[in-house]
Amino acid sequence: MTTTTYIVAYPNPAIPFSKRLYPVTADPNSYGAKVLERLCDIYPAYRGDLSDATLWKVSGFTTVDVCGDGGQRLYEWITERDKSPDSEIRRYLPLESCFPDGLQKPSGDWVDIVVVTPEILEALDHLGDTDGNVERMKARLTFRRTLGGFNPSGPRYGRSSDRPGPPTALFDKSMAVLRFNLEHLEGFTPQSETFIYAFDLISYSAEIFDKEDTREFCLRRAITALLMGESKWRESMADGTVTPGGVWMEGRFAYLIFELQNTPGLGGDPFLQGLAVYNKIIKQEEYSKFCLRSNLPVVLLSMAGNRLEVATAVFTDAVYVDKLLSLDLHLGLHAQDNVLHVARVFMAINKCTEQLRELYRNLGTVSGALPNILYPNPTVHPLESPTKTIPALEFFSKLDHLTGTQIRGTVLDGSLRVIRI
């Protein structure tokens, strides 16, 4: 039986360059689907992505074009929309009919078939910069698939000299509104029942209980009453790898995570525990189809003793986290003001989670143009005129972190050398 070796490129940004090429030996009379079956055996972790893949005949691309220079030239070819329809290799047509003139010579130096998945197309559509930002998307995809806890491409928070990261408010409007509202709580007027539950939360947080379970039950009741939406408590998630203290969900998406500890410093940091829960949840395979459509924003709420902390997190090329509020709950001489303050804090959180629920309700039905998840999406200051808009932003080039100068450029724009992406 005569066989032919086809050099197949699978330019998934999450796969190392050295593994994006593979020779597939097949009978020329076999169908294109045979190539995909072979690739599923070679890349078992990407079987789901490959099930929706298309095959394209390519000419003039060497193996260096795939493995060298970041694969930029091949990525640019993929993003073109004017490719000839007859270049597509149908799954149930003989391979021989797709290469009537035979393969390029010398065999082994030229790429014959390029595998393109919807995940690759979505990533390249919104990255724009096929040279630099493909690597950021690679980090994003790799992070989502990595099992286990924190890693170098994982959560970033804290002081700029420690684990630097941009504010979450730059990427999501609901995160920006929450940050603003927590700094301007005077705009909220709680109802009487909110006062009651806020008072209960403060009282229970400072009370001494005989059993930790009793304390958790009382605090859970107050927290559940203060927060809108349905909650789940101590239920296993993320394929059994994590059990959050409490989680509020819209469909399959977690939009608020709550963790509780009896005393600060004992049994772990509840803030970090909530962050670990979020970290593991977004790595689930069912999130893979949505990680290129959303930054998957979440509110992280934690309590240790009588200390309440509010934080937010988003996922771009890594998880970025902001601690927005740290508050010691107590009554004291200013009990009325303290209760009012806590009630307003939860009103601000509820306004944010209402927006998050709306986001996640619509996320599964999004079609057409997708949001640019890697770049900031700033929000107009709430006190500015409603008609005021943010000027359109355009990315020109990357800057050196130390000097602030542009790293590369090819187009002169006045006295400034820029590259338009």
Confidence of residue 409 (pLDDT cuts 50, 70, 90): very low
pLDDT of residue 421: 31
pLDDT at site 194:
94
**Mean pLDDT taken over the chain:** 78
Give the range among 62-71, 143-152, 181-190, 325-334 with minimum mean pLDDT. Answer: 143-152
226 band by pLDDT with thresholds 50, 70 and 90: very high
How much is the average pLDDT of 361-381? Answer: 67
What average pLDDT does this structure show over 20-44? 85
- Residue listed under structure tokens 């609901």: 174
Confidence (pLDDT) at 130? 44
Give the integer Cα–Cα distance in Å for 114 and 32.
12
Q: Does the pLDDT at position 351 exceed 90?
A: yes
Looking at residue 325, what is its pLDDT?
Answer: 95
Residue 174 is predicted with a pLDDT of: 93
Mean pLDDT value of segment 332-353: 93
pLDDT at 33: 85
Higher pLDDT, 261 or 154: 261
Range with the poorest average pLDDT among 19-23, 93-97, 287-291: 287-291
pLDDT value of residue 221: 94
Query: What is the structure's pLDDT at 263?
Result: 76
* Per-residue model confidence (pLDDT) at position 323: 93
| Whether residue 39 has pLDDT greater than 80 | yes
Instruction: Tell me: pLDDT of 259 over 90.
Output: yes
- Order the strands of the 113-116 sheet from edge to edge: 21-26, 4-9, 113-116, 54-57, 88-89
**Confidence at 59, pLDDT banded by 50, 70, 90:** confident
Cβ neighbors of 378 (< 8 A, separation 6 or more) are 170, 176, 390, 393
Tokens representing 26? 């097949």
User: According to the model, what pLDDT value does residue 355 have?
Assistant: 94
Identity of the residue numbered 387: T
What is the mean predicted confidence (pLDDT) over 378-406?
64
pLDDT at 1 over 70: no
Q: Which residue has the higher pLDDT, 380 or 265?
A: 380
CA pair distance 173, 210, nearest whole angstrom: 43
Residue 148 pLDDT class (50, 70, 90 cuts): very low
Q: In sequence order, what are the residues at sequence separation of 6 or more whose Cβ sits closer than 8 angstroms to the Cβ of residue 335? A: none
pLDDT at 418: 34
Mean pLDDT across 126-135: 50
Q: Which residues of 154-171 are buried (b: 16+ CB within 10 A; e: fewer)?
A: bbbbeeeeeeebebbbbb
pLDDT value at 364 more than 70: no
How many angstroms separate the CA atoms of 181 and 176, rounded? 9
